[in-house]
Amino acid sequence: MDLKGKKVIVAGFGLSGKSLCKVLTMFGAIIFVYDSKSKEELKDDISEFKDSDITFCFKDVTDEFLEGAQMVIVSPGIPIDSEIVTKAKVKGIEVIGEVEFAYRLSKAPIYAITGTNGKTTTTSLLGEIFKNSGVRTYVAGNIGYPLVEAAVKAGNDDVIVAEISSFQLETIKEFRPVISAIINITPDHLNRHKTLENYINIKGRIFENQSFNEYTVLNYDDKNISSLFDRAKCKVFPFSMEKILYRGTYVENGKIVISSNGEKNTIIDINDIYIPGNHNVENAMVASTMAFLAGIDVNIINTTLKTFKGVEHRIEFVRSINGVKYYNDSKGTNPDAAIKAIEAMKGPIILIAGGYDKGVSFDEFTSSFNGRVRKLILLGETRDLIYKSAVKNGFSREDITVVNSLDDAVYAAYKMSMPGDNVLLSPACASWDMFKNFEERGKLFKDTVNSLRG
């Protein structure tokens, strides 16, 4: 890609935006950066590039700012109906996302995973399987390591395993993984995508450029994915927790089985999977299937599933204090993810929930409390919404505590806990009302828990 001396605009100066600037500098591009935040808010990020010749824009997007641009590369946080995207398209400037740009740069094959829940765990697990097979592997994308950085480092003989979000899929054009997967789809990000149908269609874009000799792995049990099966031009390899499939991945007699080309391959007894919970059986099925289709030996897949310990901030055990276990599930950023965390707990739960409002219903979430959640602690933008939903579903007002900070939530949980309880941070919401990201929220939770006296 020849970008030397050409003007490229980077929209959004977060993690992806900064990585784009580093890579574009390597290619000798003339870099302009737009962000809706103020110069003061971004001063620390800007200081990282004090020796680079970058022009910044923090206000309204002018014609002069866009003039002569070869392309606009948008970070995932920039909506496709934003001012800069709309004006660039009117001027005929190509608008792509960081994932699309990374794909155009990449020499290595990309294995791409999306879904509402389980993306990070499945991506990390598949990456571990590839590493254990002896292949140099880059785990990147929405997982926290920008895909564009992996793309410039990975060679022809390497592999990139990428977590891809719906925000990233909005701006692809040619992006084409060798194997893709959609784990599940439940309502999420409707404040941005407006309707569930639109959200489903965007998720389906992950396989839209794949050809007839490539694979997409799709959830046979998920009604929201069923409409996508006939849309794929590539081979669909289904997986199911509920049904034995003639061709696909399924659970039979407590074991994960992959049936392909008339042969049944037993991968693992689900009780031998290190990370607990039915949702992790689903994640293991997806990672196993993608690895199997990529030609990785079944024994390597089995060994990895027995030893992989999961990812930070996803039902992560923090410590036990006076017979009470504390779990960090800050990555539970929507109701369905939080329900899975609740179902994974053994024993009564003191649940800490609430955060940024993404426009979804909490009724199914609060319905899952019955017989599991003993006390509910609420904070953040959605605390009133969750409170009303919980009461509507029969949860006692006396068992709900409303607090103003995560520190206060942890201390409240500590005071009301009894031996045998599980204190679970699983917000069912994004973190952006109070934190930069779910990692910052999870770290504060762990730091606060670790400061408690045993």
Asked if the structure places residue 2 within a domain, the reply is no
What DSSP state is assigned to residue 206?
G
Output the six-digit token pair for 393.
């579903």
Mean pLDDT of 417-426: 98
Same-domain status, 355 and 262: no
Q: Which domain holds residue 212?
A: 100-307
Residue 129 falls inside a structural domain: yes
Q: Are residues 335 and 444 in the same domain?
A: yes
DSSP structure string for 72-103: EEE-TTS-TTSHHHHHHHHTT-EEEEHHHHHH
Compute CA distances 104 → 7, 90, 158, 263, whole Å.
Answer: 18, 24, 16, 37
Of 307, 327, 347, the residue that ends a domain is 307
365 neighbors 333 (Cβ within 8 angstroms)? no
Predicted confidence at residue 454, as pLDDT, reads 75
- Average pLDDT of the chain is 95
How does residue 188 score in pLDDT terms, banded at 50, 70 and 90?
A: confident
| CA separation for the pair 24, 27 (Å, rounded) | 5
| 191 confidence band (pLDDT: 50, 70, 90) | confident
User: Residue 170: which CATH number?
Assistant: 3.40.1190.10
Taking the CB of residue 73, how many other CB atoms lie within 10 A of it? 27
Ligand-binding annotation for 116, yes or no, is yes
Quick one: average pLDDT of 173-201?
90
Tell me the pLDDT tens digit for each residue of 315-365. Answer: 999 999 999 999 999 999 999 999 999 998 999 999 999 999 999 999 999
Residue whose structure tokens are 């791409």: 112
Measured CA to CA, the distance from residue 118 to residue 116 in angstroms comes to: 7
What is the arithmetic mean of pLDDT over 140-147? 93
Distance (Å, whole) CA 85 – CA 75: 11
Confidence of residue 189 (pLDDT cuts 50, 70, 90): confident
What is the pLDDT at residue 420?
97
Of 33, 67, 92, at which residue does a domain stop? 92
pLDDT confidence of residue 77: 86
Residue 1 lies in a domain: no
pLDDT at 302 over 90: yes
448 is in an annotated binding site: no
119 is in an annotated binding site: yes
Maximal C-alpha separation, the chain: 66
Overall average pLDDT of the 251-274 stretch? 96
325 is in an annotated binding site: no
**What are the CA-CA distances from residue 275 to residues 10, 113, 119 (Å)?**
39, 19, 15
191 and 256 together in one domain = yes
442 pLDDT band, cuts 50/70/90, is very high
**Same domain for 68 and 121:** no
- pLDDT tops 80 at residue 190: no
* 201 annotated ligand-binding residue: no
DSSP assignments along 314-382, one per residue: SSEEEEEETTEEEEE-TT--SHHHHHHHHHH--S-EEEEE--B--S---HHHHHTTTTTEEEEEE-STT
User: Are 71 and 113 contained in the same domain?
Assistant: no
Tell me which residue has tokens 């990370």.
275
Q: Are residues 325 and 422 in the same domain?
A: yes
Q: Is 120 annotated as a binding residue?
A: yes
Torsions phi, psi for 215 (to 5 deg): -120, 145
- pLDDT band for 130, please (50, 70, 90 cuts): very high
% of the chain exceeding 90 in pLDDT: 86
For residues 189 and 56, state if they share a domain.
no
pLDDT at 92 over 90: yes
Tokens describing residue 82:
């934003």
- Confidence at residue 181, expressed as pLDDT on a 0 to 100 scale: 98
Tokens 């194997």 locate to: 179
As for how many domains the chain has, the answer is 3
Mean pLDDT, range 385-393, rounded to an integer: 98
Residue 36 belongs to domain with CATH number: 3.40.50.720
| Same-domain status, 214 and 299 | yes
115 is in an annotated binding site: yes
If you average pLDDT over residues 236-244, what whole number do you get? 97
Residues 176 and 81 in one domain: no
Kindly state whether residue 35 falls inside one of the protein's structural domains.
yes
